[in-house]
Copies of this chain bind each other. A is one copy, B any other.
Amino acid sequence: MLKIGEIGWIEKDRPACGPRDAIVKPLALAPCTSDVHTVWEGAIGERHNMILGHEALGIVDEVGSEVRDFKPGDRVIVPAITPDWDSEAALRGFPSQTGGPLGGWKFSNFKDGVFAEFFHVNLADSNLAHLPEGMSLEAGVMLPDMLSTGFMGAENAKIEFGATVAVLGIGPVGLCGIAGARLGGAGRIFAVGTRPAAIKVAKEYGATDIVSYKEGNTVEQILNATGGAGVDAVIVAGGGAEVMMDAINVAKPGSVISNINYFGQGIGDEDLIPLPRVGWGFGIADKTLMTGLCPGGRVRMERLAEVVTHGRMDPSPMATHVFKGFDRLEEALLLMKEKPRDLIKPVVLVEQ
Instruction: List the interface of chain A (C-beta within 8 A of B).
Output: 19-20, 43-44, 85-97, 100-103, 123, 125-126, 151, 155, 160-164, 180, 182-189, 208, 232, 236, 241, 244, 252-254, 259-266, 270-278, 280-294, 297-300, 302-307, 309-310, 312
Contact = CB atoms under 8 A, between A and B. Distances in A.
B208 A183 contact: no
A283 B309 contact: no
A255 to B, nearest CB: 8
A264 to B, nearest CB: 7
A286 B97 contact: yes
B277 A272 contact: yes
A307 B266 CA distance: 38
Contacts of A290: 288-289
A291 B252 CA distance: 13
Contact of A280 (B161, B273, B304, B310): B273
Contacts of A278: 266, 271
B272 A276 contact: yes
A266 to B, nearest CB: 4
Given A96-B286, A187-B307, A273-B283, 9 more contacts: A20-B86, A87-B126, A102-B281, A259-B284, A263-B277, A266-B276, A273-B277, A273-B280, A283-B291
